[in-house]
Structure 1
Amino acid sequence: MISNTETEKIYNVVRLLKGRKSIFFITGAGISADSGLPTYRGIGGLYNDRTTEDGIPIEMALSGQMLNQRPEVTWKYLAQIEKNCRNASFNRAHQVIAEMERRFERVWVLTQNIDGFHRDAGSRNVIEIHGNMHKLICMKCPWRAKVNDYSRLTVPPACPKCGFTVRPEVVFFGETLPAIECQILSD
């Protein structure tokens, strides 16, 4: 049941948006935490300790440098993250944002999340600035695929075309943001 305070907040938002043509949402870990996804750090975070079980910070384990030098380390932690996210799904907040697309002229979502929940909920105008963990690409050839579950992948997975290491289409620590998404954002 929605409290009077929550109802009042909803009405205030509706009042503020009335007559607007464009809405731009910026989302991060908080929206998907309500789906049961753990954050990397913070209350209930996967990596609250300063180092991983391999004795390195999670930011180093999930860096582009580590992926290039020791892909098995990066994939070990990617597989852990994916396993913790596997049975989660988008939540009501994702649905509300998707519904707004049908009610306003221009609605865009910029998300830092790599879970794909905004698109799964029905949003079309989504900038996944850090990528999507379910899209895999070869680091050498043009092979790409979409996977919903990492459990059947070898660690690290190899490209079925050329045998080189595969990676999720995400931005790792130390990598630059994707040019296409940045261009969409600037337009």
Structure 2
Amino acid sequence: MSENGLNTVRIPVGWWIAKDPTPPKPFVGGSLKTLDNAFTWAQKYGMKVIVDLHAAPASQNGRVHSATRDGYREWGDSYIPDTVATIDFLAERYSESPSLIAIQLMNEPYGVDLGSLKKYYQAGYEAVRKHTSSAYVIMSNPLDRDSKVLLQFARAFDRVVIDVHYYNLFWDKFSNMNVKQNIDYIRYNRASELSSLTSSNGPLIFV
């Protein structure tokens, strides 16, 4: 990968990684050792790692990749302490690695209360900063909200990135587009959206 010009990998993890090697059922152990190996390989080949909390306790979006078993999304205020504890665990474990470039506090929240999300993002940011002042902290924009909803909030923090997580599929308007139309949509529509999100004193934007 590094020989082909790729310099960073984003690695998704579930909250149960902090319980390894004996996480609660139905989860299985081994994810922590795998992540340790990834950091070892990244350092060997001069690459950076983004650790992404892809599955928060009780699911932040009700989708299978957030570890829900039945499609329910239950994440909210009562799960913030456990979610922050996972971030604290990851930040403490990898803060000294030269390969750590960022920790993503959550992937693709959907249908969650915005106030709860901001409360968690602030606590998660503080958990990361206990261990490292250099790693970026990535805050995922809620998929069901305007892409500008976190801009003002994020300006209060240092070295923060907003993940807008654009998709050019899953919605009806993309169903009948050919390849050129899809590329043109990115070139004209997405470029305009990204321009409106970017400012000299605002957070970085991760697509």
TM range, normalised to the smaller chain? Answer: 0.3 to 0.5
Q: If you compute each CA radius of gyration, which structure gives the higher value, 1 or 2?
A: 1
TM-score, L = length of structure 1: 0.38
User: Which has the bigger relative contact order, CA under 8 A and spacing at least 6?
Assistant: 1
TM-score (norm 2): 0.35
